[in-house]
Amino acid sequence: MGVVVASLWTLAGFAWNGALSAAPQQPVRYAPPAVEIDTGVDLDLAEVAVEVDWMVNDPRGWRVDLDQFTLRIVEPGIGGTTSMDSKGHIGMAYDAEDLALITEEAWTVLGPRFAAVGGTLQDQRTWIVLHELGHLLGHPHVDCPAAGQMAPVMRGANFELGDCTYNVWPHPMS
């Protein structure tokens, strides 16, 4: 007499349907935004696109398709962006154009405000990309929810933490 198992179990990334062979589950993939490099910016488009794809598909990211948007790396001063020294905008989002601008400087140089809180260049890139894409998704700036809580990625100046703890992700606990 045999027993038929009709449920589907998932454990450690494998699906089991009662058969003796296990097949790995496919991770959810989200479409990244189109990536552009502005004239005069000396970055490799393919390398930037791979990194943006990683940010978008990390489980701590926004967890939505972002292919309706364009992310463009520009020189400071383009589209309202400024240099890090001016403590202005190293990124800007333009809802009407579905466009996020990130300065070349924000992509290539660890800024003093990120360095002061123990951040890395990778952290800075991740925060600015996800922050500006968050604006395109309709998320406004928010304040620190409470002392000791992780800074929301949509904090107006995540690198100026106030009472929050350091964070660069929309869903940091994933």
Q: Please write the tens of the pLDDT for every residue from 66-109.
A: 999 999 999 999 998 888 876 778 899 999 999 999 999 999 99
pLDDT at 157: 64
pLDDT digits (tens, 9 = 90+) for 3-62: 222 333 333 344 444 444 455 666 778 999 999 999 999 999 999 999 999 999 999 999
**Model pLDDT for residues 123-156, shown as the tens digit of each residue:** 999 999 999 999 999 999 998 889 999 989 998 7
Q: At what angle do helices 121-136 and 45-57 cross, to 10 degrees?
A: 70
Domain boundaries, the chain: 34-137
User: What Å distances lie between residue 147 and 87, 132, 143, 158, 164, CA to CA?
Assistant: 24, 25, 11, 14, 6
CA distance 94 to 119: 26
| pLDDT given for residue 129 in this prediction | 96
In 3-state terms, the chain is what percent helix, strand and coil (to 5)?
30, 15, 55
Q: What is the pLDDT of residue 7?
A: 30
pLDDT tens, position by position, 28-39: 789 999 999 999
Ranked by mean pLDDT, which of 7-11, 81-85, 159-163, 168-172 comes out on top? 168-172
Q: Does residue 122 surpass a pLDDT of 80? A: yes
Close Cβ partners of 3 (under 8 Å, ≥ 6 residues apart): none
Out of 3.20.20, 3.30.2010, 3.40.50, 3.30.310, the CATH code matching 34-137 is 3.30.2010
pLDDT for 6 equals 31
Q: Measured between alpha carbons, how far is 19 from 15 in angstroms, rounded to an integer? A: 10
Q: Residue 2 pLDDT more than 60?
A: no
Query: Residue 23: its pLDDT value, please?
Result: 58
